[in-house]
Structure 1
Amino acid sequence: MRRALLGLCCLLGGIGAADEPPVHVGAYYYPWYEASDRHWDLGYAGEGPRLGKYSSRSAEVIRQHLDWSREFGIDSWICSWWGTNSWEDETLRRFVVPALESALANGEPTPRFCLFYESEGLLGLDPETGIEFDESTTTRFLNHFRYLADHYFSSPAYLRIEGKPVVYLYLSRAFAGGYARALLRARAVGEARGFSLFLVGDEIYWGEPDADRIAALDAITAYNLHGPEIYAGLKDWNPFIKDCDDLYRRYREVASGSGTLVIPGIIPGFDTRGRHYFIPRFLSPDDRSTGTLEALSRVALRHVDPRFPAVTITSFNEWHEGTQVEPDATGDRSAGDTLRQ
């Protein structure tokens, strides 16, 4: 896997003319593991991580993740956040963020971090109506942003775009009801504490773009285009790649109307071991490379926004969905090599 991940980062960093800025590579980072089987009990495809069933609170694990991120050209960690005083929150505040700040203070090349607001788990998702922003949900949402502003945004390691702390919003495409007012009020919460927010919505997905919701966001992205059931059981995944390209084109056209940035998302594969159809890491039975990762990376590069050229990788280490680029127990680091190249 190492050679492939290294390859992709050179590809991402080498787009366009020499005087153009390199593409910023963010990777979704999951701080929810404990060696006692916390989250590991959900399983994983293949042999599992090279580091074994690790704890996200281990200083050695965090250090190795930093080293791999530097090697693979990952510029930021988009850290999954599950609420005030949650296990993930404690892990980030007490272990991950201090490690990043220490590396930064020591002058080491250090990925920045930002937060991935887990909307479904934090606010609730109704399969029929989505994430409905009534007064109760809005109050919860605003309280969360007060906490984020008070405990994270001032970190010197926090990722900023245009000087604004970045927050990714999972499943923003399911926001309904008074979401637009809630987003404005969240921005006001940040302003009251000295922060102008940069909100990135998980908006790009199969279906038609919602221009009003896109306009309420600073940027849009796709967390995972695992797609509708028409793709289940494909032998040749090239049509899926083409459909992703067309999808990004439609969303980019709508986003341009409101000046909203587009940050394309990339997955190396998707495998939940039978709970969903899977997306292989190769495009056809004859391909045993990192073809899916490479192909989706080229799609992403066609749609990066020149104002802030950036892509996201799903994921650094979500093992139970098989999207990780973290090296596995076999020593395979081909996804990392692809990123680097």
Structure 2
Amino acid sequence: MRILLAVAMALAVLTPPATAEPVALSEKTHIFYYPWYGNPAVSGSYRHWPQGGHQPPQDIGADLYPTLGPYDSGDFSGAVDQHMAWIQRAGVGTLVYSWWGRGSYEDSLAPGVLAAAAKYGLKVAWHLEPYGGRTAQSTVDDVAYINERYGSSPAFYRDAAHGDRPAFYVFDSLSIADWSPIEPLRANNIVLAQTTDLSRVTHFGGIYTYDVLATMNPVGWQGIADYARANGLVWAPSIGPGYVDDRAVPGNTTPTLAREDGRTYDTQWSTVLDPANGGEPDWVSITSFNEWHEGSTLEPASSTPPSGFGYQDYEGAYGKVGAEAETAYLDRTRHWTSQF
């Protein structure tokens, strides 16, 4: 009986509720998605889970432990399919795929993720990461490559409100001083700079922030929103439920942003929609679905993680406890996307 009960509880968490009608998704709500994980069963070894000197499967480089355990980002029929179901459940229409260059591990997995996203009616935008040797010109070439290689997928994101152009978020854009080579991309693509410094957005077609710590003190956001509207740029400020990277980065000095049972996440949603901060933006970008190293996840975290490692959980989020708390942030996101 206990075994049957445990199985039933697990299925209740992992299976999204059946719906008789199509799920309403907000394509202008974007969520950062990380396809960099691996495990021996699929990829032959663990990828990313050992970060910080840890030894999976019980001991991983994160302060929260996934409900799915240390999964593989290439497990398309298992973990990835479940991810897409969860993102759909949250009402989020667009995932922003962390991409580390042509021929990278993440690049090799993109077709499978696009196919899984299409199954659930989701769209895929792109997060261009700072791989070794990245330049402004290589970014131009990367955009051309992604458009050519993946642009025919039914899941490939194009924003109808902005000329049916695809979206490319450039992480750590401040690391390159001269972005003039990307100027020609603006006609057919939306390339977003990660900054709040308006002197560093020349040649870009949009602005995002990524940093959820900064969202707690949105100085100057009204001016950024006004500037974006006046200059035809997309404004996509970033929000998240919290931040903690103690296990992934031992000895770090980055402040922790506690979740406060969901109050932090609600505060950040309210911040980006507040008229005092520029009002409703073009897009809201969520940090993150599954950046486990930084503890910014909406992906369900286990309510019964391996003991002895000091893992946190979502217990108490929005009044939920136990297995119900594991999906609390997905369901709260659906509440907010229905208002955006």
The one-letter amino acid paired with 1:53 is P
> Which of 61, 74, 87 is matched with 1:57 structurally?
74
1:80–1:116 CA contact under 8 A, matched in 2: yes
- Determine the structure 2 residue equivalent to 1:10: none
Q: Which moved more, 1:63-72 or 1:138-147?
A: 138-147
> Which of 201, 206, 210 is matched with 1:223 structurally?
210
- Determine the structure 1 residue equivalent to 2:88: 70
Give the 4+ runs in structure 1 shifted more than 6 A.
Answer: none
Name structure 2 gaps, 5 residues minimum: 1-11, 17-23, 40-44, 52-59, 304-322, 336-340
Higher relative contact order structure (alpha carbons within 8 Å, sequence separation ≥ 6)? 1
What is the CA deviation profile of residues 149-203 of structure 1, one whole-angstrom value per residue up to 9, with x for unaligned ones? Answer: 22122322111112111111112234313x12x112445xxx7xxxx11212212
- Determine the structure 2 residue equivalent to 1:113: 124
Matches within 5 A, 1:78-97: 78-93=96-111, 95-97=112-114
CA distance in 2, matches of 1:185, 1:153: 18
CA distance in 1, matches of 2:131, 2:298: 24
1:51–1:61 CA contact under 8 A, matched in 2: yes
> Which of 302, 307, 327 is matched with 1:333 structurally?
327
CA distance in 1, matches of 2:255, 2:298: 16
RMSD of aligned Cα (Å): 2.8
2:222–2:278 CA contact under 8 A, matched in 1: no
- Determine the structure 2 residue equivalent to 1:168: 169
What is the CA deviation profile of residues 19-68 of structure 1, one whole-angstrom value per residue up to 9, with x for unaligned ones? Answer: xx968211000011111320111144444100000001112111111111
Query: Percent sequence identity over matched residues?
Result: 25
1:209 paired with 2:198, answer yes
- Equivalent pairs counted in the alignment come to 271
CA distance in 1, matches of 2:156, 2:279: 21
The one-letter amino acid paired with 1:202 is Q
What is the CA deviation profile of residues 291-311 of structure 1, one whole-angstrom value per residue up to 9, with x for unaligned ones? Answer: 1111011011125776x7420
CA distance in 1, matches of 2:221, 2:133: 27
CA distance in 2, matches of 1:140, 1:256: 28
CA distance in 2, matches of 1:51, 1:157: 24
CA distance in 1, matches of 2:269, 2:138: 36
Q: Which moved more, 1:254-263 or 1:50-59?
A: 254-263
CA distance in 1, matches of 2:50, 2:154: 35
The one-letter amino acid paired with 2:192 is V
Q: Are the structure 2 counterparts of residues 145 and 46 from structure 1 closer, same or farther at C-alpha, using a change threshold of 3 Å? A: closer
CA distance in 2, matches of 1:300, 1:185: 30
1:44–1:321 CA contact under 8 A, matched in 2: no
> Which of 35, 39, 54 is matched with 2:48 structurally?
39
CA distance in 1, matches of 2:27, 2:126: 20
Name structure 1 gaps, 5 residues minimum: 7-13, 15-20, 104-108, 125-136, 228-239, 283-287
TM-score, with length taken from structure 1: 0.72
Matches within 5 A, 1:1-341: 24-35=28-39, 36-42=45-51, 43-58=60-75, 59-93=77-111, 95-101=112-118, 103=119, 109-118=120-129, 120-123=130-133, 137-161=135-159, 162-177=163-178, 179-180=179-180, 182-186=181-185, 196-204=188-196, 208-210=197-199, 213-227=200-214, 241=216, 243-244=217-218, 246-273=219-246, 274-282=251-259, 288-302=260-274, 303=277, 309-330=282-303, 331=323, 332-341=326-335
1:263–1:305 CA contact under 8 A, matched in 2: no
The one-letter amino acid paired with 2:208 is T
Q: Which moved more, 1:167-176 or 1:322-331?
A: 167-176
CA distance in 2, matches of 1:138, 1:26: 24
CA distance in 1, matches of 2:201, 2:138: 22
The one-letter amino acid paired with 1:86 is S
CA distance in 2, matches of 1:300, 1:37: 37
